[in-house]
Chain A
């Protein structure tokens, strides 16, 4: 219980420690803590904003997806329609071609028949002339009776 100079040493030491704490430790530690607080607050608000943006984007993408799906449906139905039309058209074309080919074939055949008839008629005429000339021998002049013969041939 006897006060002595220890008291002075203790006071001076204390004031030095306080000064060191005041200048070298306290502001830095408190500053770092405040900076961290600000950073955390910022991070939290950023996360909130991100979440909001994500929600918005997902709803937007959903809408776009819906629209795209509808569009795709439209395109598919249009394509179906078009293909059906094409098939129809091709069918019609094919029918027309078939008819044309048939008609062409028929007319060709008719022409050939006519040609063959003509040729046969000629030949028959000639044969008839030849036969008649043979029968009549020289009595008939081929030249003089040509018009008669051709008339005959025409009648065959």
Chain B
């Protein structure tokens, strides 16, 4: 009985940490269990916009004061970020559209900041939210919300198609769909193209749809798993007060050390995922702005 109660508590605790503060837009009431489309995850939106506004504030402030003089303080850091992204874009595609680099920078910094929220001890902000604002659910890491990651990757997907149309035109794009990668240029086998064109189109569709899906799921999966492990370690450490001194040392201090170790490991995942998202976005957009015909 006692054991199952504890188990239930643990389950509820984990679920509680993985539930968004969801507003049902049809009833205008908080409804964390709502599965329909017309709902907003207010916590994800709030933290995502907050972090975005913070970094944009700094970037725009530095941009206002930017001059050729000696850079100081935050200007150094921001110029370092700009140079880093500019270097990546130049390396991948030297003649990329002027939108690509600022877009990559926005993605990198924003995703990085959203991921960094994972390092905050998982119970701090939800506790404050519960006690001060009476919010029963609060998830503070926006990138563990599949809606946020898909929001980013679908925007990138739309931009990829805008770039495709702008650089290649509808005819060029259609030609690329039909003739890449398999195409017989000349000779008696030209007839085979009738069979190859559908294959090409299917391949291209799969390839293009895989882009936003893989972008979103990669980021979501990594961060969600990371957060889940933080939650599980917290469940483990929560046994600290039930088993005497030995339990306190074993679960409390041991749990704390495991949290620390996982946080340190997670420090690698956080910038890596932001970087991967940025680089893939740059690669996709660069690919959209160079036609395959030109390469041949």
Interface majority SS on B: helix, strand, loop or mixed?
Answer: helix
Say whether, besides A4-B36, A10-B45, A17-B106, A30 and B151 are in contact (CB < 8 Å).
no
Any B CB within 8 A of the CB of A36: yes
**Which of A6, A15, A28 lies at the interface centre, i.e. has the most chain B CB atoms within 10 A of its CB?**
A6
Tell me which residues across on chain B come within 8 A of A11, comparing CB atoms. 151-152, 154-155, 158
Q: Which one of A7, A20, A33, A38 lies within 8 Å of B147 (CB-CB)?
A: A7
Any A CB within 8 A of the CB of B146: yes
What is the bound-complex CA distance between A35 and B71, given in angstroms? 12
**Closest partner residue, chain B, to A6 (CB atom):** B147
Interface majority SS on A: helix, strand, loop or mixed?
Answer: helix
Task: Check B59–A8 contact: CB distance below 8 A.
Answer: no
**Closest partner residue, chain B, to A2 (CB atom):** B35
What is the bound-complex CA distance between A8 and B40, given in angstroms? 9
Say whether, besides A21-B59, A25-B62, A13 and B146 are in contact (CB < 8 Å).
no
Task: Check B68–A39 contact: CB distance below 8 A.
Answer: yes
Any A CB within 8 A of the CB of B234: no
Q: Which of B8-16, B79-87, B288-296 contacts the other chain?
A: B79-87
Task: Check B147–A4 contact: CB distance below 8 A.
Answer: yes
Any A CB within 8 A of the CB of B202: no
Task: Check A6–B102 contact: CB distance below 8 A.
Answer: no
Smallest Cβ distance from A129 to chain B, in angstroms?
129
Task: Check B39–A5 contact: CB distance below 8 A.
Answer: yes
What is the bound-complex CA distance between A7 and B40, given in angstroms? 9
| Interface size of B as a range | 35 or more
Task: Check A32–B67 contact: CB distance below 8 A.
Answer: yes
Task: Check B106–A24 contact: CB distance below 8 A.
Answer: no
**Closest partner residue, chain A, to B220 (CB atom):** A1
Q: Which one of A7, A9, A35 lies within 8 Å of B154 (CB-CB)?
A: A7
Tell me which residues across on chain A come within 8 A of B151, comparing CB atoms. 6-11, 13-14
Any A CB within 8 A of the CB of B251: no
- Mark contacts of B53-88 with chain A using CB atoms, 8 A cut-off: 1 yes-contact digit, 0 otherwise: 000100110111011110100000011001100100
What is the bound-complex CA distance between A17 and B66, given in angstroms? 20
- Mark contacts of A76-101 with chain B using CB atoms, 8 A cut-off: 1 yes-contact digit, 0 otherwise: 00000000000000000000000000
Any A CB within 8 A of the CB of B48: yes
Chain B, range 1-47, C-beta contacts under 8 Å to A: 22, 25, 34-41, 44-45
**Closest partner residue, chain A, to B38 (CB atom):** A5
Task: Check B40–A4 contact: CB distance below 8 A.
Answer: yes
What is the bound-complex CA distance between A120 and B138, given in angstroms? 159
**Which of B41, B44, B45, B68 lies at the interface centre, i.e. has the most chain A CB atoms within 10 A of its CB?**
B68
Task: Check A17–B37 contact: CB distance below 8 A.
Answer: no
Task: Check B105–A26 contact: CB distance below 8 A.
Answer: yes
Smallest Cβ distance from B288 to chain A, in angstroms?
16
**Closest partner residue, chain B, to A15 (CB atom):** B155
Say whether, besides A5-B38, A5-B40, A11-B151, A25 and B67 are in contact (CB < 8 Å).
no
**Closest partner residue, chain A, to B22 (CB atom):** A4
Between A and B, 26 residue pairs with Cβ closer than 8 Å are A3-B37, A3-B147, A3-B150, A4-B36, A5-B37, A6-B39, A6-B151, A7-B148, A7-B151, A8-B151, A14-B110, A14-B155, A17-B52, A18-B102, A18-B103, A21-B105, A24-B63, A25-B59, A26-B105, A29-B62, A29-B63, A30-B86, A32-B68, A33-B66, A35-B67, A36-B69
Q: When A and B form their complex, which 8 residue pairs have the shortest distance between CB atoms, in order from nearest? A: A10-B151, A32-B66, A6-B147, A28-B63, A35-B68, A26-B102, A25-B59, A25-B63
Q: Interface of B with A (CB < 8 Å)?
A: 22, 25, 34-41, 44-45, 48-49, 52, 56, 59-60, 62-64, 66-69, 71, 78-79, 82-83, 86, 98-99, 101-103, 105-106, 110, 145-148, 150-152, 154-155, 158
Q: Interface of A with B (CB < 8 Å)?
A: 1-11, 13-15, 17-18, 20-22, 24-33, 35-36, 38-39
